[in-house]
A and B are shown apart, each in its own frame.
Chain A
Amino acid sequence: MKLVTAADADGRTFPGIYDAGGIVDLSQHGFATALDVISADASTLVPIVDTGGDVMTDATLKMPLVPRRIIGTGTNYRSHVAEMGGTEPQRPTANFIKLPNSYAAAGDDIEIPPFCLLDYEAEIAIVIGTEVSHADSDAAYQAIFGLCLANDLSARDAPTTHLSLAKSGNGFCPIGPWITTTDELDVADIAFELLVNGELRQDSNSSDMIHSMVDIVASFSHSLPLHPGDVILTGSPSGVGVGQNPPVFLAPGDIVEIRSPQLGTMANRLVSPATVEGKP
């Protein structure tokens, strides 16, 4: 199942199931939000997925869910550790979060703040489906509702002591385009790549992670209970802008596209602050 949040022509938002033909409106089945769907007993979803329903073809995709919070794992690909000049962590890290104003959707324009050296980081995002604490590997896997793509946009002019601030400008965490449930995935083999204006910059696979997604969930759950709607970013591979020689940063007009054969495609345009609708 590919879970989306969509809006119809009247601006009404609703959770839905996406397929190539359109979107099945889950609000007709009593679900008000994507979190309601994520939190539901899977058995209630099976007949809906099997039988479908009225398909909408003119809805637009929004952020697939409003995250309860987004926790960031840093330094989880050896190639990225090498290009940044850091050291490999012995355990999954939870050193930063993406603050709520950073949440954004595929397709959103994202403003580059003045004097900001903005960089991209393609990542796979875990969406937690059940409350979980002190999980072993099996319980950790069962707690994962699904995966989506994310861009962990980062201001490189900020020090690592201010990491959550550096990663939490307005719109600095687009996620999308939908959440693919784990029954359709091999979480240890998710390919993804990132392109800037059509130029390939990052190309990797979840199999390259230092700590697997299951290990991350299990490790975090021993330190703090995780809840439905929590999102965990799982780190970015090599190829970020600051790792280029010389470093390159995002500029207004750039199109950043992240695509995965399993998780879909997500594109965002970078803009200067003045061109974001409704803002000065």
Chain B
Amino acid sequence: MRVTRVLHNDVVKTCMIDNGALVAIERALGGVPEPWEVALAEGDGFTGVGQLPPRDVIHLGFADPSLVLGAEDNFSSQPQSRKTGLAAMRPAAIEPFRRSDPSEDVWIIPRDPRSVAVPGHPIVRPLECEKLDLGVTLAVVTGPGGTVAGYSVGIDVIRRDVPVEHAYLARSYPSHLQLDSALCSPTELDAADTIELTLSIDGEERQHCSMSDLVVQPATLLASIDRRYRLAGGEVILMGTPPGTALDRGDGWLTDGATVVAAITGIGELRTHVVAATT
């Protein structure tokens, strides 16, 4: 099942996408549910209340998260660690308290939720930024208690021109998290070894990797995060991006006008482009 949110006659509505048609859905007792609630429940307990003409809606995307966390170093084929700053250190004072847990080697960095782009909004290159990088990522939307409510395709944009010590700031510029407008139910995802993530820029494939290459799969990573931070429903967790970024290659930074296409098998395809900031 695929779910999205739209604005129709100045009213926010959650819709099921059925063979391309938008069907508004409500709770059985009335009221508009959150997209993640519908995706998690596979529509059970919700009622279709009519089809919406595509021309009359504005797509809002499925997510309005209060929290966005991104993983780094979560692909085993990654040639070298992307950890920087404190994440790359192992201070002696806290070393005795470390656990032997693969999920703790995955770097978790927040993004500003305001960096999530409205569907259709391009990637904005800050005027002074000459090293703008990106990667395809599986975006996981949480249910209560760290459960997986749904999946989507994401493009994670990172400034490489800022100091490596500014890991959070480098990942939080407006428009730098692009998400597909549709959220897929967890059951849409097949076995990890059949799922491939790809990203191309102007037709040149830059990333192509199997989801089986993930060091930590979504359910395990969410459980690890939820041990320390109680995840609410509707938050966004990015599973990391595979090898092939401009950082990995040493060249291929984003340029104005570039067309970017990211795809994940069974989940969807996200197409966007790059524009220069106007101020």
A237 located at the interface, meaning its Cβ lies under 8 Å from any Cβ of chain B in the complex: no
B110 contact set on A, CB distance < 8 A: 96-97, 99, 164
Known contacts A155-B228, A165-B225, A165-B228, A94 near B167 by CB under 8 Å: yes
Asked if residues B228 and A94 are in contact (CB atoms below 8 Å), the reply is: no
A175 located at the interface, meaning its Cβ lies under 8 Å from any Cβ of chain B in the complex: no
Q: How far is the CA of A273 from the CA of B182 in the complex (A)?
A: 38
Asked if residues B93 and A85 are in contact (CB atoms below 8 Å), the reply is: yes
Asked if residues A85 and B92 are in contact (CB atoms below 8 Å), the reply is: yes
CB-defined A-B contacts under 8 Å, sample of 30:
A85-B91, A85-B92, A87-B89, A91-B166, A93-B85, A94-B165, A95-B85, A95-B86, A95-B165, A96-B86, A96-B110, A156-B97, A158-B228, A159-B94, A159-B98, A159-B104, A160-B86, A161-B83, A161-B104, A163-B87, A164-B109, A164-B110, A169-B229, A170-B230, A219-B163, A223-B163, A223-B169, A224-B166, A224-B169, A243-B93
Q: Which residues 58-75 of B sit at the A interface, judged by CB distance below 8 A?
A: 66-67, 69
Closest residue of chain A to B71 (Cβ to Cβ) is A161
A7 contact set on B, CB distance < 8 A: none
B173 located at the interface, meaning its Cβ lies under 8 Å from any Cβ of chain A in the complex: yes
Q: Using an 8 Å CB-CB cutoff, how does the interface string of B141-179 with A read, 1 for contact, 0 for none?
A: 000000000000000000100110111111011000000
Q: How far is the CA of A83 from the CA of B93 in the complex (A)?
A: 7
* CB-contact partner of B97 in A75, A100, A157, A220, under 8 A: A157
A278 located at the interface, meaning its Cβ lies under 8 Å from any Cβ of chain B in the complex: no
Closest residue of chain B to A157 (Cβ to Cβ) is B97
- Chain B proximity of A220: nearest CB distance (Å): 6
B108 contact set on A, CB distance < 8 A: 161-162, 164-165
Asked if residues A220 and B85 are in contact (CB atoms below 8 Å), the reply is: no
B106 located at the interface, meaning its Cβ lies under 8 Å from any Cβ of chain A in the complex: yes
The 9 A-B pairs of least Cβ separation, nearest first, read A85-B92, A223-B169, A223-B162, A224-B169, A93-B165, A165-B228, A84-B91, A223-B166, A95-B86
A100 contact set on B, CB distance < 8 A: 66-67
Q: How far is the CA of A260 from the CA of B203 in the complex (A)?
A: 59
B112 located at the interface, meaning its Cβ lies under 8 Å from any Cβ of chain A in the complex: yes
Asked if residues B109 and A117 are in contact (CB atoms below 8 Å), the reply is: no
Q: How far is the CA of A219 from the CA of B173 in the complex (A)?
A: 15
* CB-contact partner of B168 in A75, A94, A162, under 8 A: A94
A86 contact set on B, CB distance < 8 A: 86, 89, 91
Known contacts A93-B85, A99-B229, A161 near B107 by CB under 8 Å: yes
Known contacts A69-B112, A92-B165, A223-B159, A75 near B86 by CB under 8 Å: yes
Q: Which residues 158-215 of B sit at the A interface, judged by CB distance below 8 A?
A: 159, 162-163, 165-170, 172-173
Give residues in B with beta carbon < 8 Å to A: 66-67, 69, 83-87, 89-95, 97-99, 104-110, 112, 128, 159, 162-163, 165-170, 172-173, 225, 228-230
B67 contact set on A, CB distance < 8 A: 99-100
* CB-contact partner of B89 in A94, A160, A219, A224, under 8 A: A160
- Chain B proximity of A165: nearest CB distance (Å): 4
Asked if residues A168 and B229 are in contact (CB atoms below 8 Å), the reply is: yes
Known contacts A99-B67, A160-B91, A242-B94, A169 near B228 by CB under 8 Å: yes
- Chain B proximity of A83: nearest CB distance (Å): 7
A74 located at the interface, meaning its Cβ lies under 8 Å from any Cβ of chain B in the complex: yes
Closest residue of chain A to B104 (Cβ to Cβ) is A159
Asked if residues A84 and B85 are in contact (CB atoms below 8 Å), the reply is: no
Q: How far is the CA of A99 from the CA of B225 in the complex (A)?
A: 13
Q: Which residues 18-77 of A sit at the B interface, judged by CB distance below 8 A?
A: 69, 71, 74-75
Q: How far is the CA of A163 from the CA of B88 in the complex (A)?
A: 11
A207 located at the interface, meaning its Cβ lies under 8 Å from any Cβ of chain B in the complex: no
- Chain A proximity of B44: nearest CB distance (Å): 28
A101 located at the interface, meaning its Cβ lies under 8 Å from any Cβ of chain B in the complex: yes
B66 contact set on A, CB distance < 8 A: 100
- Chain A proximity of B174: nearest CB distance (Å): 9
- Chain A proximity of B166: nearest CB distance (Å): 4
B91 contact set on A, CB distance < 8 A: 84-86, 160
- Given A100-B67, A162-B108, 16 more A-B residue pairs with CB atoms under 8 Å apart are A75-B86, A85-B95, A91-B165, A92-B165, A93-B86, A95-B109, A113-B228, A156-B93, A157-B99, A159-B99, A161-B104, A161-B106, A165-B229, A169-B228, A219-B166, A224-B162
B104 contact set on A, CB distance < 8 A: 158-159, 161-162
- Chain A proximity of B202: nearest CB distance (Å): 27
Closest residue of chain B to A164 (Cβ to Cβ) is B110
Asked if residues A161 and B87 are in contact (CB atoms below 8 Å), the reply is: yes
Asked if residues A74 and B86 are in contact (CB atoms below 8 Å), the reply is: yes
Q: How far is the CA of A162 from the CA of B229 in the complex (A)?
A: 10
A247 located at the interface, meaning its Cβ lies under 8 Å from any Cβ of chain B in the complex: yes
